[in-house]
């Protein structure tokens, strides 16, 4: 499998029983704390493996670091935070590479494994499938608003707890069900990644705006006029293939193109298994998972918000 549908990772078959899943990702710091930055960067990178139904095995650090401005204790904190999540994932840190950079950047190159006939793609959704999202959205606007001290400590704490939570539990739970398509919600926002799924699957995804879980205070930040530097580009990405039937103010619609870091998984699951999967997710570590829509036959738009 390659990059034909902008999937989350590449997959290369080694034998009849094993394939490797390959991905790399890195981010700039959304928080000041180096340990938490490392955790977020690692969780974000590991997520692509989970989105393919794989298991992370080895990781390599990818680091850009302004060594003339920040001390080695900052670098150590970033790696320490990352290692905590790599270990939690059951993987190992096998090395990496650091370059001098004006701004800190951190992420991982991750290699995972999956059975060659049991991986997930973002392009297999079928008519009638139910859509389940495992994490709330809104981290992008919260991080920007937090720079102006608009966000309460409780809301920011909850946001960080959400994005440092690995998608491991959700992926392992979903593996026991009939998942036709999966992806993780990151920089293109819910709408952008859902559109990739819809186009790749040749269906229309209908998403209920009322059902989409949002992080505390995220909508309030958009109502107050906050946005991100990516929202505009994400709107352009979806505009020719998306229809908004929901009667919502413009500021509310921004949440659906809000760029996520270490966002949740979006599953297209067989309709007779959706409620059971949701219940199992709630029993695990994904108590904010929600059914947010369904896949229908292709119509005038690949993505419809109702």
What three-state secondary structure class fits 97? Answer: strand
130-305: CATH topology is Phosphoribosyl-aminoimidazole Synthetase; Chain A, domain 2 (3.90.650)
Which residues lie across from 113 on neighbouring strands? 20, 55
Spell out the residues 6+ positions from residue 72 whose beta carbon is closer than 8 angstroms to its own. Answer: none
CATH number among 1.10.3470.10, 3.30.1330.10, 1.10.10.10, 3.90.180.10, domain 10-114: 3.30.1330.10
Residue 54: which of 142, 120, 143 has the closest Cα? 120
CA dist., res. 266 & res. 295, Å (int)? 12
Q: What are phi and psi of 15, to 5 degrees?
A: -155, -175
Q: Tell me if domain 10-114 and domain 130-305 are identical in fold.
A: no
> Environment class of residue 40 by beta-carbon count within 10 Å: exposed (0-12), middle (13-18) or buried (19+)?
buried
Per residue of the chain (306 residues), what is the pLDDT tens digit?
656 667 788 999 999 999 999 999 999 999 999 999 999 999 999 999 999 999 999 999 999 999 999 999 999 999 999 999 999 999 999 999 999 999 999 999 999 999 999 999 999 999 999 999 999 999 999 999 999 999 999 999 999 999 999 999 999 999 999 999 999 999 999 999 999 999 999 999 999 999 999 999 999 999 999 999 999 999 999 999 999 999 999 999 999 999 999 999 999 999 999 999 999 999 999 999 999 999 999 988 999 999
Specify the pLDDT at position 108.
98
Residue 217: which of 133, 291, 150 has the closest Cα? 150
CA dist., res. 124 & res. 39, Å (int)? 31
Contact indicator for 285, 224 with CB cutoff of 8 Å = no
Distances in Å between the alpha carbon of 143 and those of 20, 45, 151, 161, 229? 34, 19, 8, 13, 12
Specify the pLDDT at position 3.
65
CA dist., res. 158 & res. 84, Å (int)? 19
pTM given for the model: 0.95
Specify the pLDDT at position 203.
97
Specify the pLDDT at position 1.
63
**For the chain, which residues make up each domain, given as ranges?**
10-114, 130-305
Give the Cβ contact number of residue 278 at 10 Å. Answer: 19
CA dist., res. 112 & res. 210, Å (int)? 36
């Amino acid at each position: 499998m390659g990059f034909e549908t902008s999937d989350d990772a590449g997959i290369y078959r080694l034998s009849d029983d094993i394939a490797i899943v390959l991905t790399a990702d890195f981010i700039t710091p959304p928080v000041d704390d180096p340990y938490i930055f490392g955790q977020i960067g690692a969780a974000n990178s590991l997520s692509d493996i989970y989105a393919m139904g794989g298991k992370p095995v080895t990781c390599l650090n990818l680091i850009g670091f302004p060594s003339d401005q920040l001390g080695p204790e900052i670098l150590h904190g970033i790696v320490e935070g990352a290692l905590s999540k790599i270990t939690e994932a059951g993987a190992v840190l096998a090395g990496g590479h650091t370059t001098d950079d004006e701004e800190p950047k951190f992420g991982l190159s991750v290699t995972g494994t999956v059975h060659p006939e049991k991986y997930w793609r973002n392009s297999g959704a079928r008519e009638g499938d139910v859509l389940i999202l495992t994490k709330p959205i809104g981290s992008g606007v919260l991080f920007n608003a937090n720079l102006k001290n608009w966000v309460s400590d409780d809301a920011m704490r909850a946001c960080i707890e959400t994005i440092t939570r690995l998608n491991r539990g959700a992926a392992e739970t979903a593996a026991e069900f009939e998942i036709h398509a999966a992806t993780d919600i990151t920089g293109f926002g819910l709408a952008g990644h859902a559109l990739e799924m819809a186009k790749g699957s040749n269906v229309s995804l209908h998403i209920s705006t009322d059902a989409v879980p949002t992080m505390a205070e995220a909508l309030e930040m958009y109502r107050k006029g906050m946005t991100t530097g990516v929202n505009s580009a994400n709107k352009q990405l979806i505009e020719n293939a998306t229809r908004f039937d929901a009667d919502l103010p413009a500021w509310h619609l921004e949440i659906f193109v809000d760029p996520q870091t270490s966002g949740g998984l979006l599953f297209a699951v067989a309709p007779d298994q959706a409620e059971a999967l949701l219940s199992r997710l709630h029993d695990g570590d994904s108590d904010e998972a929600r059914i947010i829509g369904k896949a229908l036959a292709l119509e005038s738009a690949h993505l419809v918000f109702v």
